[in-house]
Amino acid sequence: MISILSRFSSILLAKLDDSSCESTTSMLTEEIRNEMLECMFECLSSKADIQTNLWDKIFEAPCLQTLWYLRVDLMAFLSFHYGEKTARKLVAPITDRFHGVLKG
């Protein structure tokens, strides 16, 4: 009986931990998404004819892993507008936000 209760409590705690982790991940996803879009905003607002395909991809990204891969496109976009040195400075803090979160 004790082993059944122990197993049940372990399962219950794991479920609770997963839901809080999902909530934290969801909040982090939104924060990172906003940071990425903020980096692009100045370029997009200053030139009306700029392709907004990347904006849409970031805005609609369903998860952290998708945003992780979109960093490469963001870096290319920012490099084109600001130069590589400035782009790296803008993307570095975003990259740091992913450390310890994505499972490989």
Give the pLDDT confidence of 9-67 residue by residue, as tens digits.
444 444 444 444 566 788 999 999 999 999 998 887 655 545 678 999 999 999 999 99
pLDDT-derived band of residue 103, with 50, 70 and 90 as boundaries?
A: low
Both tokens of 69, joined, read 């891969």
CB neighbours of 80 closer than 8 A, spacing ≥ 6?
none
- Does residue 89 have a pLDDT over 70? yes
Does the pTM of the predicted model rise above 0.85? no
Q: Where are the domains of the chain?
A: 25-98
Distance of alpha carbon 22 from alpha carbon 17, whole angstroms: 9
